[in-house]
Amino acid sequence: MNAPVPVSAFRHTLDEAGLLTLTLDVPDARVNALGRRVLEELRDLLGQLEAGPPVKAMVLRSGKPDGFGFIVGADIQELSGIRSALEGQTLSREVQAVLERVAVLPFPVVAAIHGPCLGAGLEVALACRYRVASDDPRTALGLPEVTLGLIPGAGGTQRLPRLIGLVAGLDLIATGRSLKARRALAAGLVDEVVPAPILDEVARRAALALAGGRRLPRRLGIRGHERLLRPVLFRRARKAVLDRTGGHYPAPLRAIEAVERGTAASLANGLAVEAELFGSLVVSPASRALVGRFQATQELKKDQAWPDGAAPREVHRLGLLGAGLMGAGIAAAAAEAGVAVRMKDTTREALGRGLREARRVFDERRGRGSLQAREVEARMDRIAPTLDLSGFRRADLVIEAVFEELELKRRVLAEAEAVVGERCVIATNTSSLPVAEIGRDLQGRGRVLGMHFFSPVHRMKLLEVVVTPETEGWATASAVGFGRRLDKHVIVVRDGPGFYTTRILAPYLNEAARLLEEGAAIEDVDEAARGFGFPVGPLTLLDEVGIDVGAKVSTILHHRLGPRLQPPAGLAPLLGDGRLGRKNGRGFYVYQGRKRVDPSLYALLPRGAPRRVHERRDVEERLVFALLNEAVWCLQDRVLRSPRDGDVGAVFGLGFPPFLGGPFRYLDHLGPRFAAEVLQRLEARHGDRFRPAPLLLEQASQARGFHG
């Protein structure tokens, strides 16, 4: 049999005016990504254009359905297959060469941008002479490569600052943030912004006008004062990166280097610098971990975490019990996704606070330019406050978000069950209480599950869906589908005390409190965790969560899981002194004015003051390995379905350092044998709580990583 002829990613038409319209539509793909095959096809097309009939102008557009993007970036799978810096450098030079041919075509090329135009997609657009973007909210332009531990490798570090200036270019390249169309226009990144229905027509008119000399593209370029202040600008850029990342991420610093060296020379020399630095980064441990994290989140979007044949129920109406910070956050996220919300609480004052909090979330986005005033009002109109359960009968999903008290949760869910339909999913937003116990007295326990959101809901990307042995597949599928609709990374975990994220956090926080009991200084414990790569230290985190909440959760986990999770006694005196954390202004830190350690706290602890100096490495090991070991216990106990889910949960729910990829990727990097030896050494010094999980010892004996 003859092999099937591959379907081309490009199609093109040439009209009588000499305008060529080139449409990119990668076959069998939801979005356009720039991979080797697309690059080769583009190279061949350019050869035909250079040798073929005369073309006056060209428009480059996407053929994907509405809003699915111009080009969303490079093919990540291909990048993860690069095995050497030289291979990465060679690939970069190949892509640069193709885009340089686009840039020097003897006729103008206009990019018609609708939807995401990111990474390599923006680099393609930068090689065009003119850019027209739609004003659709989904249209965004940026170079997010640093979030994957990389720098732009197809000319982005050179063309962007030459287009919009050093300050604006450095900001976008070193942070990886993107701009909506209007902001991109203000920055000089695009030349026009128009409604999506007329995008193609405007792009065609612009192309012919450019060809006829009737229009000139905008070029802000590198300003004179930027040239004079180059040393200051680059020094400040490096300081901003180090302040933000703690030096754990090499890519932003290499990006600044590429801009600095490249813009001091010719474009050709700058592209060579970019390729060299790209090649060194693409095989770095940080990039491997960050790319692995990205791939894991993409896999989760497609993962079917329920039995085959289980049909999810699409959620059109949400019933929400509780209008506190968590309830208001869930309501705002649901309204953002187009879901109608009935939010119940016991007083008008509580409902008013909840509505104000939801509006604050939307107003914050309006302040950043990503929402207009009418869009804020449209979202708020989807949230209906109520003092009773009226309207809940039609709900497809009910979520309780009341205080972490077992009897209270049981009562409000029982009241809701008496009202809702039999195909309504019933969820509890609990962080530590077993879901089966909360739903023990409900009649339809097959539709009961946990939906553990993280605060603040509009910023935290993780959702833990907690299933009991009785939870039916359709209910799980419905909850997962709803979470994905809210743009969350959804992991499905088995019911039990603390589930996954709270359970692995508990020994980490316990160890921090023990270090204080032993005489460590508060700031030294927190600094060790931040130095490892956590965004905040464990004692600051306890203050944020609430010392009373932390103590309660630790007690629950200790009761359920045994001595390994036993909390230290040192928290009791703090609670006795009225120290609850940030919520009452007094915890490990005090919050009157600037946050600072209150030395009087040490008098409440066994060793008092002055504090004994602990070695930074010892503090770091005790904190981190307590968490790593519990993560393995969760995998062994089948709370987790896979190491992948454990990595995603820890990174997006707890702030585990993304550049390490997650607990299981980090264990693979260390080697299970080495990790087991560290834990055995800690066990000998500090007790049984550090005894390695049997599964870790098994992996160590077989010299096998968790990710295969």
Residues of the chain with pLDDT > 70: what percent? 99
Question: What's the pLDDT at 535?
Answer: 93
Q: Rounded mean pLDDT of 81-100? A: 96
Return the bridge partners of 450, or none: 428, 466
Tell me: the pLDDT tens digits for 615-626? 899 999 999 999
Question: What's the pLDDT at 370?
Answer: 76
Question: What's the pLDDT at 267?
Answer: 96
Give ranges for CATH 3.90.226.10 in the chain: 10-283
Question: What's the pLDDT at 610?
Answer: 65
Give ranges for CATH 1.10.1040.50 in the chain: 502-701
Residue 231 has pLDDT above 70, yes or no: yes
Which stretch of DSSP H or E encloses residue 574? helix 571-576
Q: Which two tokens stand for residue 157?
A: 């570090």
Residue 1 has pLDDT above 80, yes or no: no
Residue 441 has pLDDT above 60, yes or no: yes
According to DSSP, residue 404 is labeled S
Active site residue 677: no
Give ranges for CATH 3.40.50.720 in the chain: 317-496
Question: What's the pLDDT at 614?
Answer: 82
Residue 319 has pLDDT above 60, yes or no: yes
Q: Which two tokens stand for residue 314?
A: 């699409």
Q: What is the CATH number of domain 317-496?
A: 3.40.50.720
Beta strands 317-321 and 19-24 are: unpaired
Backbone dihedral region for residue 487 (phi beyond 0: left; psi -120 to 50: alpha; all else: beta): left
pTM (two decimals): 0.91
* 173 — pLDDT class (breaks 50, 70, 90): very high
Q: Rounded mean pLDDT of 516-529? A: 92
**81: Cβ contacts below 8 Å, ≥ 6 apart:** none
Residues of the chain with pLDDT > 90: what percent? 82
178-180 sheet: strands from edge to edge: 116-118, 140-142, 178-180
Q: Rounded mean pLDDT of 193-211? A: 96
Which stretch of DSSP H or E encloses residue 80? helix 76-80
Say if CB 384 and CB 343 are below 8 A apart: yes
Q: Rounded mean pLDDT of 631-645? A: 96
Residue 254 has pLDDT above 50, yes or no: yes
Phi, psi of 494 (to 5 degrees): -85, 145
Integer Cα distance of 518 and 500 in angstroms: 28
**How large is the angle between the packed helices 85-103 and 36-51, nearest 10 degrees?**
30
Say if CB 435 and CB 448 are below 8 A apart: yes
Question: What's the pLDDT at 4?
Answer: 45
* 65 — pLDDT class (breaks 50, 70, 90): confident
Tell me: the pLDDT tens digits for 489-499? 999 999 998 99
Tell me: the pLDDT tens digits for 534-549? 999 999 999 998 898 8
Question: What's the pLDDT at 6?
Answer: 55
Give the domain 502-701 fold. Answer: N-(1-d-carboxylethyl)-l-norvaline Dehydrogenase; domain 2 (1.10.1040)
Say if CB 649 and CB 491 are below 8 A apart: yes
Q: Which two tokens stand for residue 661?
A: 């990829």
**What is the average pLDDT value for the chain, to the nearest integer?**
93
Question: What's the pLDDT at 3?
Answer: 43
Question: What's the pLDDT at 380?
Answer: 96
**17: Cβ contacts below 8 Å, ≥ 6 apart:** 56, 208
Q: What is the CATH number of domain 10-283?
A: 3.90.226.10
More confidently predicted of 369 and 125: 125
Q: Rounded mean pLDDT of 126-130? A: 97
Beta strands 462-467 and 109-113 are: unpaired
Residue of 464, 472, 511, 630 marked catalytic:
464
More confidently predicted of 573 and 203: 203
Residue 527 has pLDDT above 60, yes or no: yes
**452: Cβ contacts below 8 Å, ≥ 6 apart:** 429, 430, 431, 463, 464, 465, 466, 499, 501, 502
Question: What's the pLDDT at 5?
Answer: 42
475 residue type, one letter:
A
